[in-house]
Amino acid sequence: MLQSGSIFLFAMAYIAILFLVASYGDRRRKQATSGKQPSAPDRPVIYALSLAVYCTSWTFFGSVGLAASSGLEFLAIYIGPVLFVIAGHKLFKRIVRTAKAQRIASIADFIGARYGKNTSVAAVAASIAVIGTIPYIALQLKAASSSLEYLVAQSSEAGTIGDISAFVAIAMAIFAVLFGTRHADATEHQDGMMLAIAMESGVKLAAFLGLGLFVTYSMFGGFSDLLAAVEAKGIETSSVLSISSWPRFFLLICMSLGVFLLLPRIFHVAVVESYSERELERAMTLFPLYLVAINLFVVPIALAGLATFGNSVDGDIFVLALPLIADEPVLAIVAFLGGLSAATAMVIVATVALAIMISNDLVLPFLLRQKKSREAVEAVAPRDMVVRILNVRRTSIFIVMFFAFIYYRSAGDTALAAIGLLSFAALLQVAPTFFGGLFWRQATARGAILGMTTGILVWGYTLLLPTLVAQGSSLLMDGPM
């Protein structure tokens, strides 16, 4: 039987390990030989694993829940990135080369640079990135908090533990501040943070594969036994093994394909943190394989959950409920740590990326446009200016986490997949401006600003607002998109 104290102990121990890994990565960076290319031979593997920050708690918990309710539709979210990395590798390399040549520090910087280094275009893009990512961060808070609360509720010391989401948010923000805001130059590589993110990618993959093997071959005798058990419950297996709406499926593929590199966390690890094209070559092989591996047991776990619980347990929590009902508390904690890894990795990188955009594209340009503020900024010594920039970024991380917490509390019981799609839809408003700046020479800054502003306003009215009145799940999951 689980002990609530041991659950917290494991969570704290895991966070402590993250700090140690990040500290080791920073020390190794300092000890490396001079030059832009680090001496560590494992750097391409670390880079490829860091791209798996794409797989968040939506993957770890939400994909199973989506498979239980909508069948194979969850695969569309991963087909898009695979297509981008494999079929669009030349475009990927071009974007990285351009970013390195112009010392780009964020997706907003990149978009502004494509329109003549227009600060207004960058500011609008940064604002959309912040608005669109906050629901995604809220998703991680919801998943981490709900999973911990579920485990505690099932423990031998079950009781009221209060709302732990605030604690989760603060812990994630502190880590992001400590290991993501060490350099005022946003193009300076954060090797400690990258090593920790790569480790988390390994943890969540190992946890999910271990759980999948246990559920499929220990709790049940294999896939055929799973199908028979589900049918015995009176549930049609075709609902899990088929695609309910092909038009929607292809639409989700297009959405994930178009938004993949626009996600602030992906642009940061894939472009800003890139050292060389050798890393890209390795990532084009390892990253698709990672996405395949982490989705191998989504359907078996969903089937096992339906066979065991029917509709009495939320599909998003099958990952934890199955090992508990099998009296395997250690495996339940491993699954919890895997989900925690998926959530913390996303939050850390996303908040760091957003903090860079807030400081570089919103706060500093605003100050420089004000005469008195500009004079005050110009009068500051370089070292003091560095401190001010870092303080702005650190403050921004806590502000972003605060608003994510507020959204999490306001969105109620909205499904994890619904929140993820909401965020994707917001960030997709930047896609025409991003790709237009790459391929259409007649594109103008004014048109870019008008397009992005109109898009995010429509998104806010048709998608964001309904979630705040507890109708977002039906809009995103049941209605046409």
| pLDDT for position 163 | 60
Lowest mean pLDDT among 197-206, 226-235, 254-263, 459-468: 459-468
Q: What is the mean pLDDT of residues 105-121?
A: 93
| pLDDT for position 55 | 95
Bigger pLDDT: 436 or 388? 436
Lowest mean pLDDT among 81-95, 140-154, 190-204, 297-311: 140-154
| Max avg pLDDT among 13-27, 302-316, 383-397 | 302-316
Q: At 185, is the pLDDT very low, low, confident or very high (cuts 50, 70, 90)?
A: low
Bigger pLDDT: 27 or 338? 338
User: How many Cα atoms occupy the beta-carbon half-sphere of 176 within 13 Å?
Assistant: 32
Q: What is the mean pLDDT of residues 429-458?
A: 93
| pLDDT for position 481 | 34
Distance (Å, rounded) from C-alpha 125 to C-alpha 75? 28
CA distances (Å), origin 131, targets 243, 264, 354:
31, 11, 10
Q: At 400, is the pLDDT very low, low, confident or very high (cuts 50, 70, 90)?
A: very high
Q: Give the helix/strand (H/E) hosting 122.
A: helix 119-154
| pLDDT for position 473 | 44
Q: Please name the residues in contact with 253: beta carbons below 8 A apart, sequence gap of 6 or more.
A: 76, 79, 80, 83
Would the pLDDT of 33 be above 70?
Answer: no
Q: Give the helix/strand (H/E) hosting 404.
A: helix 382-410
| pLDDT for position 28 | 78
Bigger pLDDT: 102 or 33? 102
Bigger pLDDT: 437 or 276? 437
For the chain, the helix, strand and coil percentages under 3-state DSSP, each to the nearest 5: 80, 0, 20
User: For the segment 319-360, what is each residue's pLDDT rounded down to a tens digit?
Assistant: 999 999 999 989 999 999 999 999 989 999 999 999 999 999
**pLDDT > 70 in the chain, percent:** 86
Q: At 375, is the pLDDT very low, low, confident or very high (cuts 50, 70, 90)?
A: low
Bigger pLDDT: 4 or 162? 4
Would the pLDDT of 159 be above 70?
Answer: no
| pLDDT for position 475 | 39
pTM: 0.89
Question: CA 292, 296, 300 angle in degrees (round to 5)?
Answer: 160
Would the pLDDT of 182 be above 90?
Answer: no
User: For the segment 53-92, what is each residue's pLDDT rounded down to a tens digit?
Assistant: 999 988 999 899 999 988 999 999 999 999 999 888 889 9
Distance (Å, rounded) from C-alpha 28 to C-alpha 22? 10
Would the pLDDT of 253 be above 90?
Answer: yes
Would the pLDDT of 378 be above 80?
Answer: no
Distance (Å, rounded) from C-alpha 152 to C-alpha 368? 50
Q: What is the mean pLDDT of residues 132-146?
A: 89
In degrees and rounded to multiples of 5, residue 133 shows phi and psi of: -85, -25
Would the pLDDT of 472 be above 80?
Answer: no
Instruction: Assess contact for 319 and 64: CB atoms under 8 A.
Output: yes
| pLDDT for position 23 | 84
| pLDDT for position 469 | 67
Distance (Å, rounded) from C-alpha 74 to C-alpha 231? 22
